[in-house]
Structure 1
Amino acid sequence: MKLLLIVTLFSSMTEFNHIKNEDKAVPISTGSTFFVSSDELPKLADAANNGDLDAAVRLYKHFRFSKLDTENAINWLQKAAELGDKVSQYNLAYYYLQNDNIELARHWALTAMANGVTEASELLEEINGNQ
């Protein structure tokens, strides 16, 4: 699985300078789509640490795509996976495979597969092939 990042491009730089006021609230990049304000971060972290799956996923996306902070992103991805998010379980398995942690990759691929992620079986084959 490869991560696809879609970025909005403008046909010319002059268009960027002429965004209407009512359009300024519309995100202009993937990173801004997942931005979380500094006021909101502690609330989301508290919620995620108290079992709020949506908060954990939102924090993962914020750190992965907006802040480009891999360490924090993986911590929140781990939390989301532990809270039962099957997409996070698959993505965590893929991350561990890419970073040569075969045992954790296998664990999370099996967990994702048990939760109905059919693509996890292909990932598991790849994991088993890397031994």
Structure 2
Amino acid sequence: MTANAAAAAEPTSDQVLARVLESLDDDKAEDIVQIDLRGRSSIADHMVICSGRSSRQVGAIAEKLVERLKEDFGRTCKIEGKDQGDWVLIDAADVIVHVFRPEVREFYQLEKMWMPAGSQV
């Protein structure tokens, strides 16, 4: 495989973000917020925060997202918190996804920490 073919095979962070948003929408995630981290953090290019209505839905949203990213891009994601279902973190390299139960999301208010000053959540 040439270097160009390898580069073409690796999805861009925007392609991964688009697939993440599509997956979350398919699984009825609520209050989806995306935050552009480019130039603001070295951890990822994008952060996505959303809610599920129950611990079961939070776990299912996360599980399906990880499956879809593996299937579509061959990307193995790190996942934390799925067993508890209150707050699941999915690390898809260039895109970090947080799936919360609404009460837990309200408590941590992660969006406020990462949104640019003056932005409305």
Who wins on radius of gyration, i.e. which is larger? 1
TM-score by length of structure 1 reads 0.27
Q: Of Structure 1 and Structure 2, which has the larger fraction of its residues in helix?
A: 1
Relative to the length of structure 2, the TM-score reads 0.29
Q: Which has the higher contact order (CA 8 A, sep 6+)?
A: 2
